[in-house]
Structure 1
Amino acid sequence: MTHAFARALALLAFAAAVPLAAHAQAAAFPNKPLRINVGASAGGGTDVVARIFAEKMGQGLGQSIIVDNRPGAANTIAADLTSKAPADGYTLLMATNSPQVIAPHLMKLGFDPLKQLTPIGMVVMVPHVLIVNAQNPAKDFRALLAEIKAKPDKLSYASSGIGSVQHIAGELFMAASDTRMVHVPYKGSSQAHSDILAGQVDLMLDTTSSAMALIKAGKFRALAVTTPQRSSELPEVPTLAELGLKNAEMSTWYAMYTPTETPAPALDRLVTEFNKALQLPEVQTRLRALGGTPSTLTREQFVQLQAADYQRFGALIKQRNIKLD
């Protein structure tokens, strides 16, 4: 065998081994723990949903999934970290409307959420609920609204950050009710809840996924929901529309993402295990207990919803002249 012939055989063997090695690597995914970045503090709605999927997807993938809370900057810190992580399928993001379709209109981001993060799937859609401390003298919505109108710029409303869905819900509420309140941003709903319970902040238009536990525990009083229909978990709580307040509808969706360049085999496996987890009766029950409606959208349908919301919130922010300061 000549040296040239032997070299040619070696090159052919190497060329054949490369796709086989790549296939073996893809088939082995995942072979180490995964991580879900969360842009809110522990105990908030995003964190609760992320931990449900960390548990169930981890079981399906045969690997543990760590939940890493990175609150702040309207939930964009976690999204930014995820967009810059290696695109190997091991770094995921649980996010809401806030960093994906609201924050880009308010701040200069170091990433493009629509281009650098690809959806694995939408989890759930939840309403917002107007909550006050259970000890608040306002026993119903009309009493609270009368107080807000009587004291312009005196009452305060909390949010999980400037540009968060709670912030935008508050802006919608003030526009619809022709009222003025002081916005008090936090790094997550759980921090805001503490100050509402302590009497430092008057109210919040929080997601049911964040507030439901404290409502059920009798710590918060729910005065209204911001969706067209009442929440199945809070059937006694009227909608703002029922109470005569139009154009204040607000919902929050939760979705899981991974960096856009994630290889197809890894992405397909993640999508498969995500959908399996979403369809589990236990998961459906837990999502509904948060006041939400589990998603039935395909990935393609969710991409369309995200694009539409991007345009909708951009127009609202411009109309209300919402600024970071």
Structure 2
Amino acid sequence: MKAPFLRRAVRAPGLFGIVAMACSFALGATDAAAADAGNFPNRGPIRLLVGFAAGGSSDTVARIMAPVLSKTLKQNVIIDNRPGAGGNIASDALIKAAPDGYTIMLGTIGSLAVNQHLSKLSYDPVTDMAPISLAVSFSNVLVVNANSKIHTFAEYLQAAKAPHSDMSFGSSGIGSSGHLAGEQLKFVAGLQNQHVAYRGGAPATNDLLGGTLASIFASPTDAIQFINAGKLRPIVTTGLQRLDVLPNVPTIAESGYPGFEANNWYAFTAPAQTPAPVIAALNQAIVATLKDPEVDAKLKKLGLDPAPSTPQEADRYIRAESDKWGGLIKKLNINL
């Protein structure tokens, strides 16, 4: 016969028994998670969040890469557009997702390095996300409707300097590189024109084509097909060097404002605490996809430079860009 305290111990484990059981379960869960991470990806699909509307630049990059990335990972990669708030809606969805690698994001300079300096967020993209790899980098192009009276940068500056100027400039959203390029130009050139934020480059381009918007600092992806079709007119680009796809379009830096640079970039991120083996597997697949000849050619045709990197390189770059643009936002007193 068992002693009464032993019978009670069997019926009710008590504090130390509960702690021991909890530790056992936790260790088992940790071991299972580690084993699952080592086998990643062993199920699907993988959800790729994009913070802007379908048809925009970041969406286009995602759709160029997704088929090859799916083949590389041997799991379907499903694009999930979450437009709004300059990419913050997608970012919020990412950090709330399970850190298991099955939800990742193609973030922009705005959502990863700028928005936290424009408004108070419930998260910090630098610390609450785990960088996987840089994706692409590129400069923007200032474009107007082909029927616009503006043909040169000098004419644009004259129109934008007028009191109550109607030479508005649109961008893919607040905090986007197009927005910051326009604000930076306003500061150095003393312009009076106003910014109009959109939920992605595609709707901004549609309004420009329709004549309800005067100009856009657009990504080459959004603008190049309409430039080639004669529907949009390029004025200047925002990088230090001319775009290969627009070799006859001057830069702002060579047009009277030496050193002017406002480049754009995208990067892949996962929720913080995503296991290192999962990040490594995703990085390997994304880098291989960016180096795929067909993907490389499609991106370059749109004026985008593939920028594969290690997670560590991506982390350093994002932090440096956050410091850079945070300082500029404070200096120019840019706010929502």
TM-score by length of 1: 0.90
Kindly indicate whether residue 263 of structure 2 is the aligned counterpart of residue 251 of structure 1. yes
Give the equivalent residue in structure 1 for 2:67: 55
Pair 1:262–1:148, CA change in 2 (3 A): same
SS of 2:97's partner is: coil
SS of 2:126's partner is: helix
Q: CA deviation at 1:20?
A: 7.6
Kindly indicate whether residue 229 of structure 2 is the aligned counterpart of residue 217 of structure 1. yes
Contact conserved, 1:197 with 1:219, CA < 8 A, in 2?
yes
d(CA) in 1 for partners of 2:335, 2:40:
47
Contact conserved, 1:172 with 1:247, CA < 8 A, in 2?
no
2:146 to 134, 148, 153: 134
Give the equivalent residue in structure 1 for 2:76: 64
Pair 1:276–1:296, CA change in 2 (3 A): closer
Give the equivalent residue in structure 2 for 1:279: 291
1:280 aligned partner, one-letter code: D
Give the equivalent residue in structure 2 for 1:120: 132
Contact conserved, 1:119 with 1:256, CA < 8 A, in 2?
yes
Kindly indicate whether residue 197 of structure 2 is the aligned counterpart of residue 185 of structure 1. yes
Pair 1:157–1:16, CA change in 2 (3 A): closer
SS of 1:275's partner is: helix
d(CA) in 1 for partners of 2:30, 2:169:
58
Contact conserved, 2:140 with 2:264, CA < 8 A, in 1?
yes
| Corresponding pairs, count | 312
Give the equivalent residue in structure 1 for 2:333: 321
SS of 1:114's partner is: coil
2:228 aligned partner, one-letter code: K
Contact conserved, 1:176 with 1:246, CA < 8 A, in 2?
no
Give the equivalent residue in structure 1 for 2:312: 300
- Gaps of at least 5 residues in structure 1 are 1-10
1:309 to 321, 326, 333: 321
d(CA) in 1 for partners of 2:80, 2:45:
12
Pair 1:225–1:114, CA change in 2 (3 A): same
SS of 2:236's partner is: strand
1:123 aligned partner, one-letter code: A
1:38 aligned partner, one-letter code: V
Percent identity, aligned pairs only?
38
SS of 2:127's partner is: helix
Q: CA deviation at 1:30?
A: 3.2
d(CA) in 2 for partners of 1:236, 1:273:
36
Q: CA deviation at 1:162?
A: 2.0
d(CA) in 1 for partners of 2:290, 2:217:
27
SS of 1:291's partner is: coil
TM-score by length of 2: 0.87
2:99 to 87, 90, 101: 87
1:27 aligned partner, one-letter code: N
Give the equivalent residue in structure 1 for 2:122: 110
d(CA) in 1 for partners of 2:322, 2:42:
33
Contact conserved, 2:168 with 2:196, CA < 8 A, in 1?
yes
SS of 1:86's partner is: coil
After TM superposition, what 4+ stretches of structure 1 lie above 3 angstroms from structure 2? 14-22, 150-153
2:167 aligned partner, one-letter code: L
Contact conserved, 2:132 with 2:314, CA < 8 A, in 1?
no
Q: CA deviation at 1:26?
A: 3.4
Give the equivalent residue in structure 1 for 2:273: 261
Pair 1:285–1:43, CA change in 2 (3 A): same
Kindly indicate whether residue 208 of structure 2 is the aligned counterpart of residue 196 of structure 1. yes
Pair 1:93–1:138, CA change in 2 (3 A): same
Contact conserved, 1:169 with 1:248, CA < 8 A, in 2?
no
1:34 aligned partner, one-letter code: I
d(CA) in 2 for partners of 1:97, 1:130:
18
Q: CA deviation at 1:166?
A: 1.6
